[in-house]
């Protein structure tokens, strides 16, 4: 029984509408993949060791590092005059009130270790300073003579290496370092006790093909430090200080729990394909509900081997030939043979 013209037109109209809906949804997914903004997930990792940070020590007119003491967990102390093994000789200018900066850099050869672990690592580094010209230091400030001290990760120091700034988080950390320059101060006749903790931010760069496709992204890791400082005036027992000491500060690990923030894409090529597959199934289900579904047990591979029977118009003249073709196919390819071969249809 042939379909009426109105039913055929209705089916064609529904097909067209479903195709338009499918294409609109596909365009929406493509747009979301292109404009995807990664979301953040924050976790914590417990580490046994922390690298000694890079330390920028700055003043207006220069300062002298008299000694640095490395205090270990086994209660021993290593004293190095002038801290000569770890201070970079070059003096650099890092902006206003930081005309003369020296850099302490251990190159990841010294590590703080968790005191609850059976490791003999670093407990604290102490620095003794002399400010030769206190008047010059106080000339441009309303406070007492002091040093500006900044801690940075040995893996990421944009103050000295601006070429390391790649991601938006790199730029944010650089801005944060500049804004917090005077947070740690080595003040005259005061001891500053500084504790730090490390934070790792794993960014997805815009051109990361793995992340766009849906594979494991190649994260760009930005390390930065958060510090807490407390100040105490010198006591009257100055015999423990090197001659000429004006100020002192110490640096120690404040936590061995490392905060890690990881960026994750919400839309990838793989997730879009999965969504397209699910959505197309819904559309086909709607069409099948409205108009039923046809069963075609032949695919493209059958056509390659000329194994698809040819059907003709459904008339009384060729019904027997059509049945014969179907029986031949069932017998040759599906091994199904009818029992009543002599019975005519």
Q: CB of 152 within 8 A of CB of 53?
A: yes
3-class SS at 40?
strand
3-class SS at 72?
strand
* Average pLDDT by stretches of 10, the chain with 345 residues: 71 91 95 93 93 88 84 93 89 75 91 88 92 72 76 90 91 86 77 92 93 93 91 78 87 94 94 94 88 64 64 58 70 64 49
| Residue 71: Cβ within 10 Å count | 17
H helices then E strands: how many in the chain? 7, 14
Which residues touch 317 (CB under 8 Å, ≥6 apart)? Answer: none
3-class SS at 258?
strand
pLDDT of residue 328: 72
Residue from 231, 163, 184, 244 nearest 56 by CA: 184
Beta strands, E only, the chain: 39-46, 49-51, 54-59, 64-72, 77-81, 100-104, 111-113, 122-130, 146-152, 184-187, 190-203, 220-233, 247-253, 257-264
pLDDT of residue 194: 93
Report residue 89 as tokens: 């000789």
Residue from 264, 249, 275 nearest 104 by CA: 249
Report residue 33 as tokens: 């993949």
Instruction: State which fold the 41-264 domain adopts.
Output: Acid-sensing ion channels like fold (2.60.470)
Q: What is the C-alpha to C-alpha distance for residues 194 and 67, in angstroms, rounded to an integer? A: 17
The DSSP-derived string for 79-144 is EEETTTTTB-S--B--STT-SEEEEE--TT--EEE-TTSS---EEEEEEEEE-S-HHHHHHT-SS-
Q: What is the C-alpha to C-alpha distance for residues 70 and 53, in angstroms, rounded to an integer? A: 13
pLDDT of residue 317: 56
Q: CB of 152 within 8 A of CB of 57?
A: no
As beta bridge partners, residue 87 has 104
Q: Is residue 183 within a helix (H) or strand (E), and if so which, with residue range?
A: none
pLDDT of residue 105: 93
pLDDT of residue 6: 82
pLDDT of residue 345: 43
pLDDT of residue 119: 82
- The residue written with tokens 């007119």 in the block is 61
pLDDT of residue 316: 54
């Amino acid at each position: 029984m042939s379909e009426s013209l109105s039913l055929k037109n209705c089916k064609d109209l529904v097909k067209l509408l479903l195709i338009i809906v499918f294409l609109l949804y596909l365009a929406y997914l493509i747009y979301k993949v292109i404009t995807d903004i990664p979301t953040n997930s924050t976790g914590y990792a417990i580490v046994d060791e922390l690298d000694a940070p890079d330390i920028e020590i700055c003043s207006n007119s220069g300062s002298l590092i008299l000694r640095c003491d490395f205090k270990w967990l086994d209660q021993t102390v290593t004293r190095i005059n002038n801290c000569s093994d770890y201070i970079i000789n070059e003096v650099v200018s890092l902006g206003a009130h930081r005309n003369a900066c020296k850099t302490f850099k251990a190159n990841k050869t010294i590590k703080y270790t968790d005191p609850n672990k059976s490791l003999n690592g670093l407990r604290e580094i102490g620095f003794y300073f002399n400010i030769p010209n206190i008047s010059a230091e106080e000339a441009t400030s309303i406070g007492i003579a002091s040093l500006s001290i900044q801690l940075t990760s040995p893996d990421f120091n944009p103050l000295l290496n601006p070429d390391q700034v790649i991601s938006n988080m790199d730029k944010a950390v650089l801005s944060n370092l500049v804004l917090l320059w005077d947070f740690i101060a080595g003040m005259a006749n005061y001891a500053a006790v500084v504790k730090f903790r490390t934070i790792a931010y794993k960014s997805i760069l815009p051109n990361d093909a793995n992340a766009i496709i849906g594979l494991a992204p190649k994260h760009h890791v930005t390390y930065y430090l958060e510090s807490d400082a407390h100040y105490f005036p010198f006591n009257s027992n100055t015999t423990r200080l090197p001659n000429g000491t004006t100020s002192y500060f110490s640096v120690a690990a404040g936590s061995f729990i490392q905060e890690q923030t990881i960026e994750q894409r919400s839309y990838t090529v793989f997730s879009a394909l999965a969504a397209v597959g699910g959505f197309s199934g819904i559309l086909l289900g709607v069409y099948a509900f409205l108009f039923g579904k046809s069963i075609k047990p032949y695919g493209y591979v059958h056509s390659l081997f000329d194994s698809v029977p040819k059907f003709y118009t459904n008339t009384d003249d060729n019904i027997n030939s059509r049945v014969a073709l179907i029986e031949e196919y069932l017998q040759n390819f599906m091994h199904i043979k009818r029992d009543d071969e002599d019975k005519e249809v």
